Amino acid sequence: MPVRCKSGDDDRVTSVMDGASLERAERPSPADAFQRYVVPEIPSLLRVGRTLTRDPDDAEDLVQDTLLRAYRSMSTFDGMHPRAWLFTILRHTHINRNRRRRPELLENPDDVDAVPEARPSDPAELTERAAFRDAVIEAIRALPIKMRVVVELVDLESFSYAEAATALGVPIGTVMSRLHRGRRRIREQLTASGLDNGRSGSR
Amino acid sequence: MKGSESMGERLRARGACLVVRRRLQPHLDGELDAARAAAVTDHLTRCDRCRRQLESFARIKIALREAAGATMSPKDQVALRRLRRFADGLGDDSAP
């Protein structure tokens, strides 16, 4: 059954709404799209932002700037791959903030190991699962920042490789390589701590 | 003769393991096409070493998923509330 609708202020009637028109009609307003695509991602933005900045207050400022930029870009956002789009904004915002404030951090982020945050725990008092989880957290915090962000995007935030590649502005092969090396390092650290039976070869 | 056959089998098996281990992580992440995923799954039914390695990566992945919730400190929760309010405020600005 044809969809009949009025077009504009005059009384011209479009007998059949074509696909493009339908798509336009279904596209949410920028404010609605912001609520739909951006707001649910705030926890993820904050987690990744914290990894990028290594400072909770900086992370909050970064996410706030990202939200503002995302909101201003909503009218031009095509609705495709919203997470990759949003995290690309986060990455660009982070780069721009560092360029203004701390240019030295852009030199070679791979050389900068994340400073492990103090997290005292006594594994004997924890369940095995919690001890394992804590060890994984400790291991991921020890990764170089570029590896850590990829592992977080894929494992914590459930990004596909393609989404992570878009968000980080790198080829998929780079995502796979960083992910592979990052997880291998985590596994090696767990094995060294006696928490993983990784004797079967790590490659 | 039997010894050389068994060495050949071992080499083939090792080659298969090398191929599969390159694909273990993409398999875990659901990034392999159906044919490759099926080949990996088939290999895992016959190879304890590769299966243990996959289980090891899977445990890490699961632990990280759990950590996503567990690592939100009270301070993070407060920051989250502030950011949500900020986001809602942006939406309010668009209202006429």
Annotated domain spans of chain B: 7-90
Distance CA B75, CA B16 (A): 49
Does any CB of chain B come closer than 8 Å to the CB of residue A173?
Answer: no
Nearest CA of chain A to the CA of B82: how many Å? Answer: 9
Per-residue pLDDT 10s for chain A (203 aa) are: 333 333 444 444 343 444 444 455 567 788 888 999 999 999 999 989 988 888 888 999 999 999 999 999 998 888 888 999 999 999 999 999 888 775 544 444 443 333 334 344 444 444 677 778 888 888 998 999 999 999 999 998 889 999 999 999 999 999 999 999 999 999 998 888 777 755 444 44
Contacts of A7 (CB under 8 A, 6+ apart): A13, A14
Closest partner residue to B56 among A38, A157, A196, by Cβ?
A: A196
Provide the token pair at A82.
């919203």
Indicate yes or no: pTM above 0.80: no
Question: Pick from A198, A100, A38, A110: which is nearest to B55 by CA?
Answer: A198
Q: Answer whether A42 sits within 8 Å of B70, measured CB to CB.
A: no
State the DSSP H helix or E strand holding residue A73, giving kind and residue range, or none if neither.
helix A56-73
Strand partners, A144: A113
State the DSSP H helix or E strand holding residue B69, giving kind and residue range, or none if neither.
helix B48-70
Q: Is A86 exposed, middle or buried (0-12, 13-18, 19+ CB in 10 A)?
A: buried
To probe the interface with A, which of B21, B23, B56 has the most A CB atoms within 10 Å? B56
